[in-house]
Amino acid sequence: MDDEPRSVKVLLPGLLLLVGFGVAAELSVSVLGWGTPLIFAVLFGAVLSNTYGVPKSLEPGVDTYKLLLEIGIVLLGASISLSDVIDAGPRILGLTLAVVAFGILLVEFLARYVFGLSGRAPALLATGSSICGVSAVLAVAGTIDASENDIAYATATILVFDALTLVTFPIAGSVLDMSSVAFGIWSGLSMFSTGPVAAAGFAHSQTAGEWATLTKLTRNSLIGLVVLTYSFSYSLGSDKRTSPRTFWNQFPKFLIGFFLVAAIANFPGISTGFVDTVEMISDWLFVLAFVGLGCEIQAKNLRQTGIRPFLTVLLYLLIMATASFLVVQTIF
Amino acid sequence: MGNDSMKIQQDLSATSSVSTVHRWWYELERGWQATILGLALSLAALALA
């Protein structure tokens, strides 16, 4: 964050862009009669950023998409049936722990022993792939003193795969004829950043979007643990000390809001009118956030990605997506 | 003169209080901002339902 708070006047132009493209995305679905507004929202944002570019004066407002996405996720809690979560929870938690632990070891192995990467780069790629994309890269980078160069490569690689998986996962889910629940959990386990996971899920169906987000949130909740582990392992032999406070500092706090809203919505006697209204607000926030997400997708990231980090993550994704697909199809 | 001085004092304290809230909000972690705004919207929807 910058040092000085931003006024509404600075944020307004970019926010208006998100709203304008969001309304255009909704209209596109009405006029064409197919697709979902979320996909059009991402598409419009990506077209703008890769052609004319996002004007500097709009950037502060467009950057608020991350906050809009998190509010949308908090409100998505209203759509979650706690009994379903309690029923599927242990399986999802077990799968998530396995994916994160195996994923980190796999990327570290591939990066160091197959593609010859050294230093901090394997750790950044491992956390970016197995936990939650760019935010995990930055969280771990801060605790292991990674170089700017390593951070840039890892971030660019994750962003490229966010864009690639956003397109390929919904197609794969459709070709493989996956059920909504299975596709949602598969995307939540295999893809990288939270925004693209939710976008891919909702591109498949509303139910898939809800399960994709829930599964991804479970993965995100492990970020503190992974940062703590990396921080501890890199501090061995150095003067740096790590503490359990690191776990709390890195914990994604909007998860608390998500479960509070889920608790309100599942309270006996809560009307369906409440759930419908909250779902409508959440849907709109997702549309606005996905315009901003589209603005982050830039073809130039592909050129900035080193070939070895790219191949490391590609091989990881192919192995992990195949393994989690087989497990999810068997269990759910 | 005394009234003017009092008014300026009041204006200054109002400005300072707004900017303190603004700064507090700005420095709040994004996850907490999302939680607060999400809960506020939920409660508003609950009141309307």
Count of CB atoms situated within 10 Å of the CB of A171: 11
Given an 8 Å threshold on Cβ–Cβ distance, is A5 in contact with B31?
no
Lowest-pLDDT range of A133-147, A208-222, A272-286, B26-40 = A133-147
Q: Select the residue of B26, B30, B41 nearest A70 (Cβ to Cβ).
A: B30
Q: Please, what is the average pLDDT of chain A? A: 86
Given an 8 Å threshold on Cβ–Cβ distance, is A74 in contact with B26?
no
- pLDDT value for A118: 85
Closest CA to A154 of A205, A119, A186: A119
Closest residue of A to B24, CA-based?
A5
Which tens digits make up the pLDDT trace of A44-85? Answer: 998 999 899 999 999 999 999 989 988 988 998 887 777 777
% of chain A exceeding 70 in pLDDT: 93
Query: b/e string for A120-152 if b means 16 or more Cβ within 10 A?
Result: bbbbbbbbbbbbbbbbbbbbbbebbebeeebbe
Q: How far is B23 from chain A (nearest CA, A)?
A: 6
Q: Residue ranges of the domains in chain A?
A: 81-285+299-331
- pLDDT value for A100: 92
> In A, which residues are within 8 Å of B23 by CB distance?
5
Closest residue of A to B46, CA-based?
A274
The pLDDT of A278-290, averaged and rounded, is 90
- pLDDT value for A195: 86
Count of CB atoms situated within 10 Å of the CB of A168: 15
**pLDDT grade for B25, boundaries at 50, 70 and 90:** confident
- pLDDT value for A251: 76
Q: Could you tell me the two tokens for A62?
A: 């467009």
- pLDDT value for B17: 59
The pLDDT of A226-249, averaged and rounded, is 71
Given an 8 Å threshold on Cβ–Cβ distance, is A5 in contact with B23?
yes
> CB contact, 8 Å: A163 with chain B?
no
**pLDDT grade for A270, boundaries at 50, 70 and 90:** confident
Largest alpha-carbon pair distance within chain B? 53
Q: Select the residue of A257, A260, A271 nearest B49 (Cβ to Cβ).
A: A271
- pLDDT value for B4: 61
- pLDDT value for A151: 81
Given an 8 Å threshold on Cβ–Cβ distance, is A74 in contact with B37?
yes
Lowest-pLDDT range of A3-17, A59-73, A137-151 = A137-151
- pLDDT value for A299: 75
The pLDDT of A185-210, averaged and rounded, is 91
Q: How far is A287 from chain B (nearest CA, A)?
A: 16
- pLDDT value for B1: 46
**pLDDT grade for B42, boundaries at 50, 70 and 90:** very high
> CB contact, 8 Å: A6 with chain B?
yes
- pLDDT value for A190: 94
Given an 8 Å threshold on Cβ–Cβ distance, is A274 in contact with B34?
no
Q: A63, A248, A275, A278: best mutation site toward chain B, by most B Cβ within 10 Å?
A: A278
The pLDDT of B41-47, averaged and rounded, is 92
**pLDDT grade for A242, boundaries at 50, 70 and 90:** low
Q: What is the ipTM of this complex?
A: 0.73
- Taking only residues 242 to 271 of chain A, the set having a beta carbon closer than 8 angstroms to any beta carbon of chain B reads 252-258, 260-261, 264, 270-271
The rounded distance, in Å, linking the Cα atoms of A254 and B29 is: 10
Lowest-pLDDT range of A96-100, A168-172, A254-258, B35-39 = A254-258
- pLDDT value for B12: 54
Helix axes A194-204, A37-50, angle to 10 degrees: 130
Higher pLDDT residue, B22 or A280? A280
The rounded distance, in Å, linking the Cα atoms of A168 and A189 is: 15
Which tens digits make up the pLDDT trace of A19-37? Answer: 999 999 999 989 988 777 8
> In A, which residues are within 8 Å of B29 by CB distance?
253
> In B, which residues are within 8 Å of A255 by CB distance?
31
Q: Select the residue of A6, A74, A264 nearest B34 (Cβ to Cβ).
A: A74
Lowest-pLDDT range of A58-62, A144-148, A195-199, A308-312 = A144-148
The rounded distance, in Å, linking the Cα atoms of A233 and A235 is: 6
**pLDDT grade for B37, boundaries at 50, 70 and 90:** very high
The rounded distance, in Å, linking the Cα atoms of A140 and B33 is: 23
